């Protein structure tokens, strides 16, 4: 069983008693547009707050997420991603809400979304956008979850890892599309994968390169390929001073 399958099994257990929302949903009026935030002449950075991960173990235990978020914003992040899965990543929606209150840029809820109820919860925590992972969802469910977010006024970053999912991502017509270069079987990253996948991404979409970014040269590499943004987390958090690490990363952009 892969780590993704273990995480999804845990999510299903968490959601066993949850009922699908019914009736008309009320549109959220607090949203900061992630799509607009990533439309800059230079490559944008979604800086991530991640306390631990299945591949890395503890990354920065006892960190102050709010201070990290403030430091990220000061360093030039276009948006902030918060891992909200508790069991595998040490996060929570409470952390996301605190981060959202502390900054003025969009905040992305990064979790393993498989149910509309999760989108309701992250909306109540004042997330501006959320992640959908192609490998975690059947096509019909992915469309349902994407559409439900639109009803609420939220935006979704729709990502894929495996090449076979690139086509169905394009069919959703998402405004923000991500390629994650982490192999879900080995958990290793390979940034050359971004070059292979760029041709599969819709022309109209904001294109995000996720995982495997460690240096300014990596950032320049994906920018030259045609990506609009990167999502960076582990490499920043592992330094112990994520805000300073982001400042250095952006300082070397050509």
- Catalytic pick among 81, 159, 174, 235: 159
- Catalytic pick among 44, 165, 174, 180: 180
Show the tokens assigned to 244.
């300073």
Q: Rg of the chain's alpha carbons, rounded to an integer? A: 17
- Catalytic pick among 11, 50, 81, 235: 50
Show the tokens assigned to 159.
């990502």
Q: Active-site residue 50, yes or no?
A: yes
Q: Active-site residue 5, yes or no?
A: no
Distance CA 48, CA 211 (A): 10
Residue partners of 187: CB distance under 8 A and separation at least 6 = 3, 54, 55
- Catalytic pick among 97, 116, 155, 210: 210
Q: Which uninterrupted H or E stretch holds 80?
A: strand 79-83
Residue partners of 165: CB distance under 8 A and separation at least 6 = 134, 135
Burial (0-12, 13-18, 19+ Cβ within 10 Å), 65: buried
Q: Which of 66, 76, 51, 41 is nearest to 246 (CA)?
A: 76
Q: Active-site residue 39, yes or no?
A: no
Q: Active-site residue 92, yes or no?
A: no
- Catalytic pick among 11, 81, 110, 174: 110
State the maximum Cα–Cα separation within the chain, in Å, rounded to a whole number: 51
- Catalytic pick among 48, 73, 97, 116: 48
Distance CA 234, CA 240 (A): 10
Q: Active-site residue 48, yes or no?
A: yes
- Catalytic pick among 53, 81, 211, 235: 211
Distance CA 14, CA 51 (A): 21
Q: Which of the residues are catalytic?
A: 48, 50, 110, 159, 180, 210-211
């Amino acid at each position: 069983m892969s780590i993704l399958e273990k995480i999804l099994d845990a999510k299903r257990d968490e959601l066993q008693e949850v009922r699908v929302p019914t009736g008309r949903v009320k549109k959220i009026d607090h949203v900061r547009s992630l799509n607009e935030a990533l439309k800059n002449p230079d490559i944008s950075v979604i800086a991530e707050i991640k306390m631990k991960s299945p591949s890395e173990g503890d990354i920065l235990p006892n960190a102050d997420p709010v201070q990290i978020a403030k430091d990220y914003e000061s360093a030039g992040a276009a948006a902030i991603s918060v891992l909200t899965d508790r069991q595998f990543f040490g996060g929570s929606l409470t952390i996301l809400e605190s981060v959202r209150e502390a900054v003025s840029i969009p905040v992305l809820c990064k979790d393993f979304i498989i149910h509309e109820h999760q989108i309701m919860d992250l909306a109540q925590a004042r997330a501006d956008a959320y992640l959908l992972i192609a490998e975690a969802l059947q096509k019909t469910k992915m469309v349902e979850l994407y559409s439900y977010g639109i009803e609420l006024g939220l935006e979704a970053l729709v990502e894929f890892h495996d090449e076979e999912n690139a086509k169905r991502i394009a069919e959703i017509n998402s405004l923000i599309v991500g390629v994650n270069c982490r192999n879900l079987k080995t958990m290793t990253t390979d940034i050359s994968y971004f070059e292979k996948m760029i041709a599969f991404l819709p022309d109209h979409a904001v294109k995000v390169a996720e995982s495997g970014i460690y240096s300014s040269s990596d950032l320049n590499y994906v920018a030259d390929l045609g990506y609009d943004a990167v999502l960076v987390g582990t490499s920043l958090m592992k330094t112990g001073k994520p805000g300073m690490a982001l400042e250095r990363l952006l300082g070397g952009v050509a």
